[in-house]
Structure 1
Amino acid sequence: MWRIGSVRLVLADRGSWNIHLLIAPNTPPIKKFFSSKSFVLEDSNNRSIDCAPKIDTLSSKKVQNTELVKTLLRNYGFTNTQISKLVDVDPNILFCNPQKTILPKLEFFRSIGLSSNDIPRVICASYCQALLSRSLENQLIPCYNFLKSVLFLDQNVIKMLKHSPRVLLFNVEKILAPNIATLREAGVPQSVISFTMYRSPSTLFHESHKFKEGVNKAIEMGFNPQRSIFAHAVQVLCDMRESTFERKKEVYGRWGLSNDEILLAFRSHPMCMNLSEEKIMETMDFLVNRMGWQAAVVARCPVVLFFNLERRIIPRCTVVKILLTKELVKKDLRLTTFLIPREEVFLDRFVNKYQDDVPGLKNIYLRKMGLVEPRLGSKI
């Protein structure tokens, strides 16, 4: 036996007892108490009573239940890694009744069309391990029925669940239904509502009053509720504090942009307000100070700010600057013309096409991308 600690227990009319916990060696510290094979009650005369049988019986039942839960989950496609994730978030899942608590929910997910691969992914998705602990009758089924009433078809709901399974955790009456009603009252068509639920479902998880404020602000800023970009605007306005939004406007304003020009950029690409201050400043510095484009020109196509500076913007701008210097392309060339196209399209239009006019142009481009080592003495 191994004694790891003792507690003195005083019993009326029976004297005092020392309780010693007996634990096998090499047992993980956190699980020692629950892994104990026995404990002993010992009186002052060193008489002891081994209480192992009761503990062993209890432990045996827990072990059996744990194995039943794991087996059930494996039968529905869960890997050992996925099961471990569930247990880490909710250890009690191993001790619940698998037939009454877990099986009905797994069967529900299967009945709506989720495959054996989809079920574990949906349940183990970030923040969604709590799905198995939610009430089937009071939460999961009502939420699914509401989603179907909005999206109409089972496959549409399944598509949404794969993208954002968290939706099943939210209160239909207090959050989802009021927010959908707000969109409809604002004249948002079904196509944009569906787009919102597929592409930015987290927007719908905000409290109804905050969501309504975001919708009203988007309309005041000139966004058309009939277009899908309206959904992105609402997402930004709901997710971002007003003070943060004003601070991002101030960052853009450092480049001489007026309030109208900043709002024009926001209306063109709402997510430009989600860019970090560092990203905005570095990209604007390169395009304005090093390449010579006006800040207002960049603001009219803010999508270019999202591209990787080292891997996309600098290499492509370097090539275009050489072509401009040699007057091989128009001076009024738009940023979107050469920054947005796919890699193979850019190579065809701006590199391969001018290889004879500018020998080594492709090597210059590849070196800027870090794909070719610069040669000794190279100036570029």
Structure 2
Amino acid sequence: MLSAARRRLFPLPVRYIAAAFSTSAASAAADPTVFYLESTCALSPAAAARAADSIRLVSPDSTAQADAVLDLLRRYGFSDADISATVRKFPFVLVSNPTKTLQPKLDFFASVGISAPLLPKLVSLSPIVLHRSIQDHLAPLFESLRKVLGSNARVVTALRQMPFVVRCSPKNTPNLVLSALRDVHGVPLGDVSRLVAIQPGVLLQRPDRLAEIVQAVKNFGMEPGHPMFVHMFAILSKMKTPTLESKIALYQSLGFDKDIVTLMMRRYPPAMAISGEKIKESTGFLVGKAGLSLEDIARYPMILKRSLESHSRRCAVLALLRKEGKPQGNHQVPVVLGATMVRFLKVYVQPHEIEIPDVVRAFNGEIPFEGFGVLQQPQQLGKTSL
């Protein structure tokens, strides 16, 4: 039986497996570049073999230069994982001149406010930036980004959200987007800056895609300059048209009239970014158990984003206050569910925790919410319901 088990686990004779490992080790030892990449840069054998095709570390001088490169990166906050990712993607960094080629780029990033942990993240994602010209690429890119965003601090914030923006063409991409949004679509410059700060990935959008998104936002009744235009644009820029259409169809399938969906999005654009499953679950709870109407949800669409656990606990607290005859128990359910945590605790829990200790238990989820009374059924909303 033991022999059969060994055959299943090791279909090849053990001596062949051992030979394979010894061959791999011998191969690494025979190739100093592969050995260096594995032992010093923590690359896998396969990754080290691929990297060794583009660089050779065959002399003491070459390994000393590679060591100097690694020391330089570590001084700028690169972890071992950052170094491994950088070398795996761009092995040529190890044979770059650390003083003349690499350090000026790292110093430039530091001069515009980019330091660890953002700097290693940017470089490990796009190591080629260490070989870009400061004069022809990096400086013009950051100047373009500053023109759109207004300051180095906002550029850093944008890169923290979307580090791949550093790959943008400095002479074309940011300026083309700025020109298209401002001059073609009439988006105020201040709104363009806010938009890029919220969603830096917009800098990589094609002109036809920008036009498509602008039109989709307008279809929700938000023209450029509308207070919610930027927020809706940022959300729709991450959604493909079929996804947007299916989300609208989902709301309609739950009973929301299309015009009411439009009104909901104008009030609270993030409602379009909620997953379909959460929309169904939240609507089911709010209507079926909390007794709200679709009209209530349309008036306070932000409650769709809250977790069911939060809704259940707040409703349990509200039910207790109603039972005890407290005035706060008569507050509208959507208002209670939409309140900030600080306000909810201040108004509905803390004033009653001594007289009605169960409000604390309800808030902690120890008392389940069973409903307020007669359940309301979903109703179709018409254009004039609100």
User: Structure 1, residues 114-138: CA drift from partner, whole Å, max 9, x if none?
Assistant: 34665335434xx444432444444
- Counterpart residue number, 1:34: 31
- Tell me the CA shift for residue 294 of structure 1: 0.8
| Corresponding residue SS for 1:58 | coil
- Counterpart residue number, 1:18: none
- Counterpart residue number, 1:10: none
> Structure 1 residues 238, 363: closer, same or farther in 2, change over 3 A?
closer
Contact 1:268 1:302 in 2 (8 A): yes
Letter in 2 for 1:34: D
User: Structure 1, residues 239-262: CA drift from partner, whole Å, max 9, x if none?
Assistant: 211111111112112221000111
- Tell me the CA shift for residue 357 of structure 1: 6.5
- Counterpart residue number, 1:322: 320
User: Structure 1, residues 195-221: CA drift from partner, whole Å, max 9, x if none?
Assistant: 112221112321121012212331342
1:1-380 alignment runs, 5 A limit: 25=22, 31=28, 34-35=31-32, 58-115=58-115, 119-124=119-124, 127-185=125-183, 186-227=185-226, 229-310=228-309, 312-325=310-323, 328=326, 329=328, 331=330, 333-342=332-341, 344-355=342-353, 358-368=356-366
Contact 1:192 1:228 in 2 (8 A): no
Higher helix share: 2
- Tell me the CA shift for residue 89 of structure 1: 3.2
- Tell me the CA shift for residue 280 of structure 1: 1.0
Letter in 2 for 1:147: L
Output the CA distance in 2 between the equivalents of 1:207 and 1:173: 15
- Tell me the CA shift for residue 102 of structure 1: 1.8
- Tell me the CA shift for residue 151 of structure 1: 3.4
- Counterpart residue number, 2:50: none
> Structure 1 residues 369, 258: closer, same or farther in 2, change over 3 A?
same
Contact 1:24 1:37 in 2 (8 A): no
- Counterpart residue number, 1:12: none
Output the CA distance in 1 between the equivalents of 2:30 and 2:367: 58
**What TM-score comes out, normalization by structure 1 length?**
0.74
- Tell me the CA shift for residue 33 of structure 1: 6.1
Contact 2:318 2:329 in 1 (8 A): no
> Structure 1 residues 173, 228: closer, same or farther in 2, change over 3 A?
farther
What's the % identity of the aligned pairs? Answer: 27
Contact 1:195 1:228 in 2 (8 A): no
Contact 1:164 1:201 in 2 (8 A): yes
Contact 2:57 2:63 in 1 (8 A): no
The answer to which of 249-258 and 233-242 deviates more is 233-242
Letter in 2 for 1:77: G
**What TM-score comes out, normalization by structure 2 length?**
0.73
> Structure 1 residues 356, 174: closer, same or farther in 2, change over 3 A?
same
Aligned residues: 327
Structure 2 unaligned regions, length at least 5: 1-19, 36-55, 369-386
Contact 2:267 2:301 in 1 (8 A): yes
> Structure 1 residues 218, 32: closer, same or farther in 2, change over 3 A?
farther
> Structure 1 residues 369, 178: closer, same or farther in 2, change over 3 A?
farther
> Structure 1 residues 223, 31: closer, same or farther in 2, change over 3 A?
farther
Output the CA distance in 2 between the equivalents of 1:308 and 1:29: 57
- Tell me the CA shift for residue 152 of structure 1: 4.1
Q: Which has the higher contact order (CA 8 A, sep 6+)?
A: 2
- Counterpart residue number, 2:49: none
- Counterpart residue number, 1:7: none
Letter in 2 for 1:132: L
Structure 1 unaligned regions, length at least 5: 1-22, 39-55, 371-380
Output the CA distance in 1 between the equivalents of 2:339 and 2:89: 42
| Corresponding residue SS for 1:226 | coil
